[in-house]
Chains A and B, each alone.
Chain A
Amino acid sequence: MNYNWDWGIFFKSTGIGSEIYLDWFVTGFGWTLAVALAAWTVALALGALLGVLRTVPNRWLSGFASSYVEIFRNVPLLVQLFLWYFLVPDLLPEPLELWFKQDLSPATSAYLSVVVCLGLFTAARVCEQVRTGIQALPKGQTAAARAMGFSLAQIYRYVLLPQAFRIIIPPLTSEFLNIFKNSAVASLIGLMELLAQTKQTAEFSANLFEAFTLATLIYFVLNMGLMLLMRQVEKKVAVPGLLSVGGK
């Protein structure tokens, strides 16, 4: 088993059309970004809503939100993905089921499943962060807002959420980075994202060390880049005088 190192492998033809291996990585990276960003949008919106529900003074609503969190946090991501991809389409009403199984291309249906799965999975984590953020605010804030005649919706809208979101940026950042890493599970239902393309390159070219090194590098640079970016955002929106709550 002699190994032929060849770092030029990425510029060689894959033997399929006129593609070079680098094209595969570019496509894969595109899918990874598309999955992560779409899922993050879902996670942030739903997570914020659930986070609010967890803190409102209503037992049913907060009970619902905390059951959601427990369920989505305690089932492995892969099991959730299989359920979304294999089981849920069968449970849809027939026109929708046919549309999902026949009209959509395999890539699109896998993409939709992953986005829904990752979005709902991450929403549970975002919910916990939002809750922590809201609860970290001094109780006087709510009391003062109520004394000024704010309704509950107004208290959240104008007083609690604007502050909570700014102090939870560091933990939210790490969830944001996690969603990029977690999107790799999409390769297991056949979506050709970065990891799947890497595996394919390793199998086609037999230059597995080069392929995996490049993939690792892409994930690493992406992670570091996003982290630096979020640090800038964090500085920009820091609440004066509230730094101590923000994990500093």
Chain B
Amino acid sequence: MDFSAILPAMPGLVDGMLMTLKLLLLGVLGGVSLGTLLALMRLSHNPLLSKLAGLYVNYFRSIPLLLVITWFYFAVPFILRWVTGEDTPVGAFTSCLVAFMMFEAAYFCEIVRAGIQAIPKGQMGAAQALGMSYGQCMRLVILPQAFRKMTPLLLQQSIILFQDTSLVYTVGLMDFLNAARSRGDIIGQPYEFLIFAGLVYFTVSFAAAQLVKLLQKRLAV
């Protein structure tokens, strides 16, 4: 084992990590937005909306993320072609990002839903008694409190997504793992690079998980 080749390869590895973080950040933003929308649909009194959101969540939660990534990689160019009527080249990045957003939305939806349901019913009643509309109640009263409560859970799910972004390996996107693997293969030291990648993932996830634990203690009432 000789880890000296890793230092010269750093610029490429950093690029890979930036790609991973970009996927993570955009994936979480998109996933939480779509997830919140789905959660509101699931909790709505309209049976059609709540059934639809329920189906979406159950569907994405019962299939592997790797399947979604692969499928979208194949399918997104086709779908865009049908929609726009012309050849629109989409890179692996876009199709992976869409896959992450849609897949994670199902998991974020469940977190947000639990967060909203944990807010005492009286809050909604009080807001309505003040003459707020449903939208205002949600936006000004319920959601701010719910998000505060569920921040640790959202962050935990984001740590899982951080690890899961490595699955883009399957479509050849140069994320951190793929950057490490390809450099290791070129230099002829695949194991050193693989172990290094594992160590970096571990350090980041572990440190983040400890921070979330601290935050959880501070946010606890």
Contact = CB atoms under 8 A, between A and B. Distances in A.
Given A87-B194, A182-B64, A78 B75 contact: no
Contacts, number: 103
Contact of B75 (A76, A79, A208): A208
A202 B64 CA distance: 17
User: What secondary structure prevails in chain B residues at the interface with A?
Assistant: helix
Interface in A59-91: 70-71, 73-80, 82-83, 86-87, 90
B201 A75 contact: yes
Nearest to B178: A78
Contacts of B59: 216, 220
A65 to B, nearest CB: 16
A239 B194 CA distance: 46
Contact of A74 (B166, B181, B201): B201
A224 B59 CA distance: 10
Q: Which of B87, B177, B190, B202 has the most chain A CB within a 10 Å cutoff?
A: B202
A181 B206 contact: no
A75 B206 CA distance: 9
For this complex, into which size category does the number of interface residues on chain A fall? 35 or more
Nearest to B197: A79
B71 A212 contact: yes
Given A76-B163, A76-B166, A185 B66 contact: yes
Contacts of B198: 75-76, 79-80, 83
Interface of B: 58-59, 61-67, 70-71, 74-75, 78, 81, 87, 163-164, 166-167, 169-170, 177, 181, 190-191, 194-195, 197-198, 201-202, 205-206, 209
18 contacts: A1-B81, A73-B205, A77-B163, A78-B177, A79-B197, A79-B198, A82-B181, A82-B194, A83-B194, A87-B194, A90-B191, A184-B67, A185-B167, A188-B66, A195-B64, A202-B74, A209-B78, A220-B59
